[in-house]
Amino acid sequence: MSTDALFDVSGPRGKRRIRIATGVSLLAIAVLIGLAVRQFAANDMFAADEWQMFGQWPIINFLLTGVGETLLVTVVAAAIAFPLGALIALGRLSHNGILRWTGRLYVELFRAVPLLLLLYVFLFGLPRLGLTLPVFWQLVVPIVATNAAVLAEIFRAGVLALDRGQPEAAYSLGMTYWQAMRLVAIPQALRQLAPALVSQLIRLLKDSTLGYVVSYVELLHQSQVLGEYYHTVLPTYLVAAAIYVAINVSLSRVANWLEHRQSRRVRTVGPQ
């Protein structure tokens, strides 16, 4: 890690200072944890009946349904938003002025509107104009609309960052436009964009929690129903938060692994 260069390998005095700092910070962390535990214990949060419900199959099943719906919303929204974002990026890069300006207008507008406001438009605004979508699409369409704008910018940056010499070299080898794109330009762009695309996917998954607002049966809404029914609001939301962290951490693990694998493959193939 390059930040290690910030300080020398410590001498005896530096080592002692680090040991003291380690002790002090461990103590501080212990005090923080102790305070939290005391607050939980003082309100009977460690009582078995607050937590044992999460060991019962019907409850687990109820939460798993929520997880499944969260993943469904994520997959469907991503399956529409990713190609749409790529299309808008192509529009912004095209030589046609109208396409370029439409793309620009879309991106600037939908990157600047909070998702919840957009959701309210679909929830309260459009029904007044006689257009009522099913709940699933009331949630998915606003998510797609905002995410496509962000994804368009990611794709555009990827194309612009591409080394122009690469497609030119491909042309000089006699490749057609599509061959050059498919074999040379797109693989490189995707490799560079993979981390940004996965973190956008994580953001999209987080957006699915707005099902809480439209009462769609995804994980957060399920937790709300469960917590209010059994009067275990805090434990249920804590469990939900842990599930979200677990899903998102595994997603970013996949991204890191992809990045690592691809960079290794490039190194072994390269001319060095």
Residues at the interface with another protein (CB under 8 A): 1-3, 5-8, 10, 18, 21-22, 25-26, 29, 39-40, 42-43, 45, 108-109, 111-117, 120-121, 124-125, 128-129, 202, 205-207, 209-210, 212-213, 220, 224, 227, 233-234, 237-238, 240-241, 244-245, 248-249, 252
Task: Please report how close the Cβ of residue 185 comes to another protein at its closest, in angstroms.
Answer: 25
Whether the CB-CB separation of 202 and 151 falls below 8 Å is answered with: no
What is the distance of C-alpha 151 from the center of its chain?
12
Residue with Cβ nearer another protein (78 or 240) = 240
The smaller minimum CB distance to another protein, of residues 6 and 98, is found at 6
Residue 242 or 266 with smaller CB distance to another protein: 242
Residue number, 183 or 241, with CB nearest to another protein: 241
Task: Report in angstroms how near the CB of residue 135 gets to another protein at its nearest.
Answer: 16
CB of 141 to another protein, least distance (A): 15
d(CA 95, CA 128): 39
Query: Are 106 and 146 a contacting pair, CB within 8 Å?
Result: no
237, 227 Cβ separation under 8 angstroms: yes
CA distance 78 to 233: 31
Least gap, CB of 69 to another protein (angstroms): 14
d(CA 40, CA 212): 26
Using the minimum distance from each CB to another protein, give the nearer residue, 34 or 125: 125
Q: Please tell me the distance from the alpha carbon of residue 88 to that of residue 8, in angstroms, as a whole number.
A: 49
CB of 210 to another protein, least distance (A): 7
Question: Between 184 and 239, whose beta carbon lies closer to another protein?
Answer: 239
Shortest distance, CB of residue 121 to another protein, whole angstroms?
5
Contact present, 146 and 115 (Cβ < 8 Å): yes
Amino acid at 43: N
CA 263 to chain centre: 22
| DSSP letter (8 states) at residue 1 | -
